[in-house]
Amino acid sequence: MRQSINHSAHTPARPSRQRALTLGALALTLVVSLGTAGCSDSAKPSTSGSAAAAAPAAGATLDPAAFGAAASRPGTVLLDVRTPAEFASGHLPGAINVDVESADFAARIATLDPAVPYAVYCRSGNRSGVALGLMQAAGFTSIYHLGGGITAWQSAGGEVVTG
């Protein structure tokens, strides 16, 4: 004898079509809200404005927003380690230029105060990483650099000046 099985007792209840549409609309609203939350001008990195709450760790590689916040801390020196021609074509406001690939790089950083904080950057982050290591070896204790360099800075909407 064959037994009949009631499948409806074993399947979970399905939400009504109206409820499914409402949940879908809520999910879409949430996705759109989260997607546009980071599009305001306040997300742009800046080296001016409010100072970061804490100094970054020595030797840290920072994203543009964190770099801008850290560089705006009082007493921080913004150091561009690209060539003078690259510097002249556009640099972060307030930066000084010391070319890491110049023969006198060690002599030039020897004239700087190793006790103050330095925010270092280059074009892509490679030369600033080299400068970071050289400066740490020379006794600089509060130094960090911009991951991705000025290229990442500009992509994030950061200000660049010429002259």
- Whether 39 is catalytic: no
* Region for 94 from its dihedrals, namely left if φ exceeds 0, alpha if ψ lies in -120 to 50, beta otherwise: left
Q: Dig out the tokens for 7 from the structure.
A: 């499948």
> What is the C-alpha separation between 71 and 93, in angstroms, rounded?
11
Q: What is the CA radius of gyration of the chain?
A: 26
Let me know: does 78 contact 94? Beta carbons within 8 Å: yes
Query: Annotated catalytic residue: which of 62, 122, 131, 150?
Result: 122
What are the residue numbers of the active site?
122
